[in-house]
Structure 1
């Protein structure tokens, strides 16, 4: 298969807002792909590369994107091989070698292929919700139920691998994908809840209400004495968090897959700033002065027994048994099962008094399912917050002259399109944050007009807001009210940003 075929499908996906049409275009390419091509094609059409981050800057790629060839000849295999070689290049002389590899690749590409490669390698294609469309496309191309594809993707942690399995072996091959201790599972996520009362009314009495921490999601696997830790994006951080591994290694079990959060606490047991927690996962290496504490709220496997399909009530019983000893009890996420409304309100009050964000209300009859499938888990915070994608930033004026200040905010399109702009804000920014934006944003820019920078959709920022209002000014017909920056979320990708539907749900009339 030629790269041109993939680039054409990507253009067709971008040209329509119909989820069905997007999935159909992708399915058509997948049906024509050879077995060895399915993995890279799936990754590319989901806006990613199989090799992970390649560390290629937009300016470098823009400089190389010239003198295209007239007729397409680049194959999918050749491009994937070039990206693999690029990812493996490091050490002395690597900069020149990387430039040579990229130059050869771009020199063999047509104009359309060059544009596709630039967008792919800079992350501009990574719209997040597009992954859901690709899952539907894989199901259509393989002629299998979409739920079978979603489950296999959850258990394998890899969409390209799932696509290859589906097209090669169909439903039986997908059903054979099992949870493996040592291979991360895509996490189940909570949907925003409007209020504690609404969440309880929606889910009923058979719920658990737990603290929602201002921390980082972790998934911990134990196999004997070997313990490994992943973040919510399935990035392994085992070497950076030895204290978490030690705590899990001390538990009375042989094999386990545990889900939870971690955060840094001060000497009084209060949560430290979110940035302190995230400093343990930074590219500059862990900050040994900041110790992390684990808080576990789910168990997916325990001593040879898979628990994914069991109701949450059963999983919580298993977790309670694992953490029954007094020395392990502090690892359990605080919460109350089957609370009265007054008890649930007390859990929320206790969480806020302890400096946490709020609570999560979970249905006790729900199995574990990756992503936000349904509303079995609902997070409730006293202040509305949304995780949005930063689309652009404008140069400030007055005391902010010379700094990139006012940011444009986009919500995720649930049908896989470009992020939908819903507002701007310059509120809540400290001098330190302004300095960071000014230093960081130019490296993520896809355009630098006189007024500021347009960014590839890579950064996720959490904003607090008073609600939403109808507005003809923005394409989604809705605008944020009094938005202010809370923090950037390096632990989240655009795939995990809130959707335009979540913004519309805040409309007051």
Structure 2
């Protein structure tokens, strides 16, 4: 655990890419292979199942630190992170454990079979055997809140440098339903070909946002400068669903989300056409709720996410379909090296022969002759219940991760509304001492009605100024939440809106975020609930 905690600290203390890669490579070079696999599991989101709930964790921490509940809660509100709070409050001990990360992970998994009193005793002994930094990382793992400030791409780069394999191969071998107890490091990096896992998906190819280029690319002239001849590109609608790979191998079917969640059982409507595919078929696409030939809002699809059992009502109210837009494996061959046009041809052939065309759909190609014409078509996105347009170079290969050049997403501008900040809450981690999470409201007559929360969009300087305002203008306190003087106005952007009976405002927003601080606008000129609800006529997206 000591080496893993040192790695975590080294990664947390630097923003320099080369230093992070060096720390990762040093770790790979000095720990046992089993520890390497557990580290990779944690860094790729494969944390063990939580064995101690939050109530038990807090109670046993208070007992071990010998402090009253009120002081613990005050400390927690100041620190903003439960794992760090407990690590700081517990007394230090001279004894330090020499257990490896693998040994600690085995003990955490074994907690599942222990009664509560034995879990408490084990946790108390474990805290006493770790220094403060080890306790912090240990607590993060135990509470299911482990996050590390390094991208998976950097981990893969370091591992590729150490193993001598290329990054694409490592990325592919780390995909799928593996766990460190059953996947050996030797299989991952030292064999010519990893042991075949028929369920393993390919790394997803991600589009680069047009709006994140050096200038906001909107005009046909700017698109011409960025992308060149329009004839070299194909355009499709950008759908708002669940990005997924659908796999048929060895007579078995698998559905993987982009977040590497195995979701086969969540979408039974897709099974019949997948069973019809020949073995060795992998298709990339978007799963959407579809009814009467039209896509439904993403919120309908969300009703399936997190459910253990799909009821008849859920299936009837939100039936799904696949909009396929790429073929990655055909007749057992990895065809990612083929051009976009060649892969599209194979995909069209596969979809053309399906007896389930209403469920196995194919992404429609948008016909256009110029960037000016496509710019006009893009304005129809909301009417199509789409987020914008995807641009794909016709001779592009299917690559790994987000690569600038061959796939672009040209999203429509967000909807926006001017709102008043009414509540504030402190952030987490490095921003635990700053008020960074805000609730916004619009006018309903002479009252302000909250409708959305947002925490992104402001600069560090602006956050510091808002934090100072909150501290000077707090009206009430409700635990960590502060009611503030309704004075500051912000422009809030969002991707879609729909009716909601769960919210006092009667609406729910999709991806709300702060676009800008409206210093020029007094609170009385903020928008109204009628203005917000008028967006419902735009159609939720």
Aligned length: 423
CA contact (8 A) 2:177 2:262 kept: no
Residue 124 of structure 1: how far off its partner (Å): 4.8
Unaligned stretches of 5+ in structure 1? 412-417, 437-459, 470-483, 487-509
Give how far 1:467 is off: 7.7
Q: Does 1:137 align with 2:158?
A: yes
Q: Which residue does the alignment assign to 2:327?
A: 299
Q: Report the Cα distance in structure 2 between the residues aligned to 1:423 and 1:279, rounded to whole angstroms.
A: 39
Per-residue Cα deviation, 1:266-304 (whole angstroms, up to 9, x for no partner): 33x332221111212223533222210111001111112
Evaluate the alpha carbon distance shift between residue 249 and residue 364 of structure 1 in structure 2; reply closer, same or farther with a 3 A threshold. Answer: same
Q: TM-score if structure 2 supplies the norm length? A: 0.66
Match of 2:12 in 1: 14
Q: Could you tell me how far 1:26 is from its partner in structure 2?
A: 2.0
Equivalent of residue 259 in structure 1, options 275, 284, 288: 284
Match of 1:321 in 2: 349
In structure 2, C-alpha distance between the alignment counterparts of 1:42 and 1:272, rounded to whole Å:
37
- Cα offsets for 1:283-342 (capped at 9, x unmatched): 353322221011100111111221122222221111111122375555111114785436
**CA distances 1:173-217 after superposition (whole Å, capped 9, x unpaired):** 4x6349854212221111211346455653343221111112111
Higher relative contact order (CA 8 A, sep 6+): 1
* 408, 411, 415: which one aligns with 2:455: 408
1:106 aligns with 2:127: yes
- Separation in structure 1 between the aligned mates of residue 210 and residue 115 of structure 2, nearest angstrom: 49
* Residue-by-residue CA offset, 1:137-164 (whole Å, 9 max, x unaligned): 223433x36xx134321344069989x9
Which of 161, 166, 169 in structure 2 is aligned with 1:151?
A: 169
RMSD of aligned C-alpha atoms? 4.4
Partner of 1:11, secondary structure, is helix
Q: Which runs of 5+ in 2 are unaligned?
A: 62-85, 212-216, 417-426, 429-435, 467-489, 519-531, 536-541
Deviation at 1:353, TM superposition (A): 2.7
Distance 1:316 1:179 in 2: 26
User: Which range is displaced more, 241-250 or 201-210?
Assistant: 201-210
Instruction: Tell me, in whole angstroms, the C-alpha distance in 1 between the residues paired with 2:281 and 2:290.
Output: 25
Task: Give the equivalent residue in structure 2 for 1:376.
Answer: 406
Closer, same or farther: CA 111–380 of 1 in aligned 2, 3 Å: same
Q: Which residue of 2 aligns with 1:226?
A: 252
Q: C-alpha distance in 2, partners of 1:464/1:300?
A: 35
Q: Distance in 2 between matches of 1:302 and 1:202?
A: 33
Inter-CA distance 137–224: structure 2 relative to 1 (3 Å threshold) = closer
Report what 2:23 is aligned to. 25
Give runs of aligned pairs for residues 425-436 of structure 1, distance below 5 A. Answer: 427=492
1:463 equivalenced with 2:481 (yes/no): no
Distance 1:128 1:302, change over 3 A: farther
Q: Is residue 50 of structure 2 the alignment partner of residue 54 of structure 1?
A: yes
Is residue 190 from structure 1 mapped to residue 207 from structure 2 by the alignment?
A: yes
Alpha-carbon distance in structure 2 between the residues aligned to 1:110 and 1:263 = 48
